[in-house]
Chain A
């Protein structure tokens, strides 16, 4: 499944608005830091990755683009 599209679906469902690939999810105040963990758990389930250690930083989840990169990196490292 295309990561960016899947992520868009998840975010639209949960935040009731669409997001640009480079838009900061947390800057607007629409998305809370409590929601960030739900996002991590969603990614782990949807893409079979584990986010731990230094990767577990909100800066890695600020934009759809950055999240996509992280998921690809983790998938590559796992395979």
Chain B
């Protein structure tokens, strides 16, 4: 059994990926409503993944156990942390879980941008902590950005490879730092694209059409932002801005306004695009 901490967009999607490959999951969240919604959300995502052939249509499905009690993860073979992108919250959750699981249990953070070593400082055994930046949705996107912190042990890295192998994912391992590779580039791109829209230079459709047509991107930065969730984009930009001091990462007015209005993108039905109702 693996533990997944946080039943948000990424937590439920990672749980889907795992049970779809026959790996039992204990999904933990303190929010009872989120936890209640997770069962249907995971079922829906599993069907979607099977529909497009991204997951086996037959074979065993791992059991999904939902709980509000962190102590229930005690026997986990690995822990994937996917709580909200707030450094203090992630540190607190990782510290708590590290005192519950056996020493040597992999603690894998799905942080978007917080340096792995910063989070490792919160736990009893920093050598057990590594980063795995899954893309959304992780059952459709095979590639995972793996982050090895300066104190991450070789045993922890081997555990990451085993886990991603069981989940049938590919990975590239990179060094530590704010945003790693993907989000150091992507979040700045999203911020700049949003600024361009805010200045009236181009519509979201036009920005994305240029990235698709000129650079061969699958969707473009603003459709990607809607998929990530604009609330998470703003949180990640703040993490990057605070840690680099680079003003280019300060969330632009349009992004802040959308988050203020509750337009988080696909998950609320509205973001840069109209998604026709909220989707889980």
Contacts and interface: CB of A to CB of B under 8 A. Distances in A.
A31 B259 CA distance: 27
A4 interface: no
Interface of B: 44, 47-48, 50-53, 57-58, 140, 276, 279
B57 A58 contact: no
Contacts of B58: 53-54
A14 B58 CA distance: 31
A53 B58 CA distance: 7
A75 interface: no
Given A14-B276, A36-B52, A56 B44 contact: no
B52 A33 contact: yes
B48 A57 contact: no
A75 to B, nearest CB: 20
B41 to A, nearest CB: 12
- The DSSP consensus for interface residues of chain A is helix
A61 B51 CA distance: 10
A14 B279 CA distance: 14
Interface string A2-19: 000000000000100000
For chain A, the bracket of interface size reads 10 to 19
Given A37-B44, A58-B53, 19 more contacts: A33-B52, A33-B140, A34-B279, A36-B51, A36-B52, A37-B51, A40-B47, A40-B51, A41-B44, A53-B57, A53-B58, A54-B58, A56-B47, A56-B50, A56-B51, A56-B57, A57-B57, A58-B52, A61-B51
Given A37-B47, A40-B47, A54 B52 contact: no
A34, A36, A41: most-surrounded residue (chain B CB, <10 A) = A34
B205 to A, nearest CB: 13
A33 B279 CA distance: 14
Contacts of A34: 48, 279
Contacts of A37: 44, 47-48, 51
A28 B53 CA distance: 19
A58 B51 contact: yes
Contacts of B47: 37, 40, 56
Interface in A29-50: 33-34, 36-37, 40-41
B276 A57 contact: no
